[in-house]
Amino acid sequence: MVKNLQKSLIEKETLYGANNYSPLPLVLNKGQGVYLWDVDGNKYLDMMSAYSAVSHGHSHPELINVLVEQSKKLAITSRAFYTEPFGEYIEKLSTLSGFSNILPMNTGAEAVETAIKAARRWGYFTKGIEQNKAEIIVANGNFHGRTTTIVGFSSEDDYKRGFGPFSPGFVEADYCSSSCDCANVCEKSIDSISKLINKNTCAVLVEPIQGEGGIITPRDGWLKQLRQLCDEKNILLILDEIQSGLGRTGKLFAFQHEDIVPDGLILGKALGGGLLPVSAFLSNEEVMSHFNPGSHGSTFGGNPLAAKVASKALDLLFDDSLIENSREMGSYLANELRSMECKIIKEVRGKGLWIGVEIEQNISAKKICLSLMEEGILAKETHETVIRFAPPLIITKEEIDWAIARIKKVFNSYT
Ligand X SMILES: Cc1ncc(COP(=O)(O)O)c(C=O)c1O
Name the residues annotated as catalytic. Answer: 143, 240, 269
* Residues 6+ positions from 71 with CB-CB distance below 8 Å: 305
Q: How far, in Å, CA of 226 to CA of 194, rounded?
A: 9
Per-residue interface string for the shown chain with ligand X, residues 182-221, x marking contact by CB under 6 A = -------------------------x---xx---------
The single residue among 31, 145, 208, 392 that binds ligand X, judged by CB under 6 A, is 145
CA 35 to chain centre: 21
Task: Quickly count: other Cβ atoms within 10 Å of residue 121's Cβ.
Answer: 20
**Does the N-terminal peptide bond of residue 304 adopt cis geometry, omega within 30 degrees of 0?**
no
Q: How far is the CB of 364 from ligand X (least distance, A)?
A: 22
- Which string of DSSP letters, residue by residue, matches 173-198? EPPP-TT---SSTTHHHHHHHHHH--
Nearest-approach distance from CB 45 to ligand X, in angstroms = 21
* Cβ 18 to ligand X shortest distance, Å: 16
Q: Decide whether 240 or 263 has the Cβ nearer to ligand X.
A: 240
* 113: contact with ligand X by CB under 6 A: no
- Give the Cα separation of 65 and 23 in Å (integer): 30
End-to-end distance of the chain based on CA atoms, in angstroms? 36
Q: How many Cβ atoms sit within 10 Å of the Cβ of residue 259?
A: 9
Instruction: List all residues 6 or more positions away from 355 whose beta carbon is below 8 Å from its beta carbon.
Output: 215, 330, 333, 334, 337, 348, 349, 388, 389, 390
CB of 6 to ligand X, least distance (A): 26
Binding ligand X by CB under 6 A: which of 108, 214, 273, 392? 108
**Among 72-80, 138-146, 385-393, 399-407, which window interacts with ligand X (CB under 6 A)?**
138-146
103 binding ligand X? (CB under 6 A): no
Q: Residue 153, interface with ligand X (CB under 6 A)?
A: no
Q: Is 159 in the site for ligand X (CB under 6 A)?
A: no
- Buried/exposed code over 364-391 (b: 16+ C-beta within 10 A; e: otherwise): ebeebbebbbeeebbbbbbbebbbbbbb
Closest CB to ligand X among 252 and 344? Answer: 252
Q: How far is the CB of 207 from ligand X (least distance, A)?
A: 5
Residue 390 touching ligand X (CB under 6 A): no
- Candidates 112, 137, 173, 237; binder of ligand X (CB under 6 A) is 112
Shortest spacing between CB 29 and ligand X, in angstroms: 23
Interface with ligand X includes 336 (CB under 6 A)? no
Q: How many residues bind ligand X (CB under 6 A)?
A: 15
> Where does this chain touch ligand X (CB under 6 A) — which range of 3-11, 103-111, 175-183, 389-397?
103-111
Amino acid at 311: S
How are strands ordered across the β-sheet holding 35-38?
Answer: 28-32, 35-38, 43-46, 377-378
Write out the H or E segment, with its range, that includes residue 36: strand 35-38
Residue nearest to ligand X (CB): 108
Which CB sits closer to ligand X, 255 or 411?
255
**Residue 85 binds ligand X (CB under 6 A):** no
Instruction: From 95-103, 107-115, 180-188, 311-319, give the range in contact with ligand X by CB under 6 A.
Output: 107-115
Instruction: Name the residue nearer to ligand X (CB basis): 209 or 323.
Output: 209
Find the shortest distance in angstroms from Cβ 128 to ligand X.
30
H helix or E strand, kind and range, residue 350: strand 345-350
Residues 16-35 that bind ligand X (CB under 6 A): none
Residue 51 engages ligand X in binding (rule: CB under 6 A): yes
Instruction: Give phi and psi for 248, each to the nearest 5.
Output: -55, -35
Q: Which CB sits closer to ligand X, 129 or 136? A: 136
Per-residue mark of binding to ligand X, 237-256 (x: CB under 6 A):
---x-xx-------------
What is the Cα–Cα distance from 212 to 202, expressed in whole angstroms? 25
Residue among 211 and 411 whose Cβ is closer to ligand X = 211
Look at residues 48, 60, 110, 36 and name the one whose alpha carbon lies nearest to residue 314. Answer: 60
Residues 263-322 that bind ligand X (CB under 6 A): 268
Tell me the CB-side half-sphere exposure of residue 145, using CA atoms within 13 A: 24
Q: How far is the CB of 187 from ligand X (least distance, A)?
A: 25
- Tell me how far apart the alpha carbons of residues 213 and 156 are, in angstroms, rounded to a whole number: 9
User: How many whole angstroms from its chain centre is CA 64?
Assistant: 22
Query: Where along the sequence are the contacts to ligand X (CB under 6 A)?
Result: 51, 107-109, 112, 143-145, 207, 211-212, 240, 242-243, 268
